[in-house]
Every structure is written in C-alpha cells, then in structure tokens.
Structure 1
Amino acid sequence: MIHAVLFCSCCFLLDGVFGVETDEIDVSVMEGDSFTLRTGLTDIQSDDEIEWRFGSSRTRITRIAAGNITKYDDEYFRDRLQLERQTGDLTITNVSNEHSGVYQLSIIINNKKSIKRFSVTVYAPLPVPDIFSDNSQCSLSGERSSRIVLCSVLNVSDVTLSWYKGTSLLSSISVSDLSISLSLPLEVEYQDNNKYSCMLNNPISKQTTHLDITQLCHTCSDCDLCFDTPEAVMRLVVTALMGVAAVAAVVLLVNDIRRVGRTHTIKQ
C-alpha cells in the first residue's frame, strides 16, 4: 500500500515537471467545413512525439512517433482526419456537431512534455428570419397608426436574434445550446421612413431580413392581405372555398325548385 502511494506521488511529480499546460484555444467552424489545429512546430524530428486526443474521455485519435503516423480507428473521424507529418497539424474535414469538443495535443521534445488544448464549436447553418404581422393587435382597434411585427426563427441554438433601425440596435434575444424557436416583436409607425432589419447571428455567420413598411396596412381589416404568411394564405383559401360552396348550394337549390315546378305542372 505504501509503495502504491509513493508510486502515484512520483507520477504526479513527474507530470508536474514535464507537463506544461496552456489555456484552451477557442475555434469556431461551420457545419460541413474543415478546421485545422496547429502545433506551432515547423520540423518534427524522428525522436519527437506528437499525440492528439479528443473529448472528456481523452480518446486517442492519432500520433506521430519515431517518424511514423498512426491513426486510431474511430467512427467520428474516419475518412475525415488528416495529420501533417512535418508539423503535426491536425485537420478535420466535413465536420458535424459531433466534432464539437476539446482536442488535446501532447508534444514531447527532448524528454520535455507540453500540452495544448483546443475547444472546438461546430455551428449549424443559420435559417433566414421571417417577418410577419401580429394580427392579434387588430382586436385592440379597427384603426391604428402603428403596427406590431414579429421576427421569428425556428429550431435554432447558440444564436442572437436582433432588430435594427439602420445600424442602431433596438432589441435582441439570445439562446445558448438549446434548440428552440425565437420571436422578437417590433412596433413601427405606418409613416415611418426609417429602415428596419432583423438579424440572426452566431459567432461566425449571420442572416438578415429587411422590413418593408410600405407593405403594412392602415386598417386591421386589410392586414391579412399585406403579409405573405401561411396563416394569411390559409384564411384566403378557406374564404374562397366557402364562397364556392355557397354558390354551389344556391345553384342546387334553384335546380331543385325548377325540378319540383316541372313535376307539379306535368301532374296537372
């Protein structure tokens, strides 16, 4: 038992002497793209050792030792991993969300060990924000000088949704790692000549939709015609179908009356 404790203590001391750790380096990449993690080396010698590990379990994925490259079979990195022999730089291609995580680099040169860590975040492509009218405001008044519009996106994470007037930020809402839907309201005057835009962004990309105030209606009775939203289209379709049904019912009723009239005349 004493020998085990002494052995572990020696291991700890050796790691403390030779292991020099640095802060994590943040790396952001878009899903489907590639990223390269650099060692900072220019010419690896035959007696140098380079090793890359991934994740909280520090799974070994590749290494260079005695001048030879070894790649370890892993379903996450199969056919995606590239290791540069002279520098030890690691490249991952065609990345997906499962490649997000911490990559640990161990370098042993002249019996001195150093460690670097890279925190990689893979972001999904951003959808284009939708802008539509908040028709619930129509119940407040039949005639309004202003209008509430909503900017909305579905199933997003690690993003910020914002309203801008020109280049000035008016309001914003953010979500972290949860995949949810976001909506952000904005009240605008009908006679407002300012330019408004709704922007969805993450650390590496953005999508913007501009608001055309001239499409806003002056009365709530016309609101449905001013915004090309699924709800408005459905209401127009239902209204049209009801109109067709009403006309068909009238035609059938007139035909029945005429048929009854002819039958009564024949019997006389």
Structure 2
Amino acid sequence: MVEADRVPAGINPNVPSVARMYDYYLGGRDNFAADREAAEKMIEIGRRMGNDAREIALANREFIRRAVHVLAKAGIRQFIDIGAGLPTQDNVHQVAQRLAPGSRVVYVDNDPIVLIHARALLARDPNVLAIEGDLKDPDAILDDPRVTEHLDLSQPFAVLLVAVLHFIPDDAEAGRIAARVRERLGPGGYLVLSHLLYSGDAMEGAATAGQQVYSGTTSGGLARRGYDEIVPFFDGLELLGPGVVPVADWTPDASPGGSYDLSTGGILAGVGRRPEKDWTG
C-alpha cells in the first residue's frame, strides 16, 4: 500500500480518492488508509443490498475489455479514456494493441497519482498518452493540442466514460457532458459508458449512505440515477448488442430486449455508435 511518507506533492492522503478506492476494489496497492476505509464502508453498504462492490468493479473492468475488443475488431484504432483511473491489468491500449498493433490511446484523469503511475507505465509506448483533464469540459480534452497531435479526430474514435458520470451529481450537467461527447464523435465513432444504477425505494437507505461516503472524497458526491436516467446518455446512437444492461451481462452477441434483474442496483453499461447517416460535419 502507498504510505503517507511517500505522498506525492499536492496530494492530501487523508481525503479519499475515487480512483484509489476503485484500485482497492480491484485488489490494487496504490491507495492510502483513507481510501481503504472509505472503500470498506462502500463494500459494507453493498453487502447489505446483496451486492459485492469488488465483484462489480471487476465486472466493470471486464466490460472495458470486451468493449475495446469489439471496437478494435470493428476497425477502431483510436481511444480516449476519460476518468481512466490507475493502471491495472489489461488496460485499454493493451487490449486494443493485441488485436491491432499501433492503436493509439489517450488516458485522461485529474488525479495526480493516476497521472504519475500512468506516465511511468506508458513512457516507453509512443502510441499512448496520459494527460490531466476534467470530465466536466470535454471540449478542452478533445481540443487539447497534445490530443489532436496524438490522434486524428477526423477519423473514427471511441470515447470511454466508464464509471465516471455518476460522480457528476447534477443531472443537467451530466446530460450536457454526455451530449457534448456524442456531438464530438465523428461518423462511425463510439461511446463506451457505464454508470452506477439506483433502482428505487428499496435502495434508499443504501443510496443515502453511499452518497455520504462519496461526499467526503475527491469527487464530492454521487448521483442516484435509474435506468430511465442512464439510457438517454446514448441518445442518437445505435446501441450494440443487448443495449443498456447490467455490466456483467453486456456482450456484443446478446440480443436486445432481454430480461434483467435491476432491483439490487449495480452498474449499467452500454456501447453506442454514431450513425454515419446522421453526420452533418
């Protein structure tokens, strides 16, 4: 585990970070005591609802692998992972490059520890870039000269918003962010998105407790959105596979219209493609 005597400048180890909490869920070691304490609170909250936060986090990582694999097979060679979190096994560039060597990836995060680790890991790969950026301003990310030099945004690319939009508590702001990302996708571009699911009154106590935990983290809050609030993040896109479903159930071969248990929450996930016929330049 990262200890307080090895804290990079500008980081307060006493304030839990959502990236480091996620690292803890995945079994990583790049976290402080405050991150572990907050993560354990969330694990206990999930346990009371019949969920396992660690299993959900692992399922979310598996979703990334499956989605990137599908897009690489479909010919996508450029990926922007916003809110990428700490590097772990089978990162986006590794999955993509196994199928298509030379695939180019930009990792974006606003956590200094994430950037330190990402840059150290990726220093030897000229096809991968890690930059500081704010999810709240997609245009600043997509117009960053480092990004436009690294990628050709006139060609199809994919944007990953995986388990990040639920840290934008304001519904209007979250909708604006997703809409702007969709607008910036070129013809044949993809949005890969997952989001924490609030499934109604049965989760009220757990949702309130979870919001209290995350209000004390670097994110400052946690949204409670149901299925009907998450699906519109894909408005105007052609959904792949089963559509927007529990993260463990998303596979490109699944048929739409299936029946899924949404009563205990978890994470919803989907992949959408911007149709070329709707492109106006």
TM-score (structure 2 length as normaliser): 0.21
The structure in which a higher percent of residues are helix is 2
Give TM-score, length-normalised by structure 1: 0.22
Structure with greater Cα Rg: 1
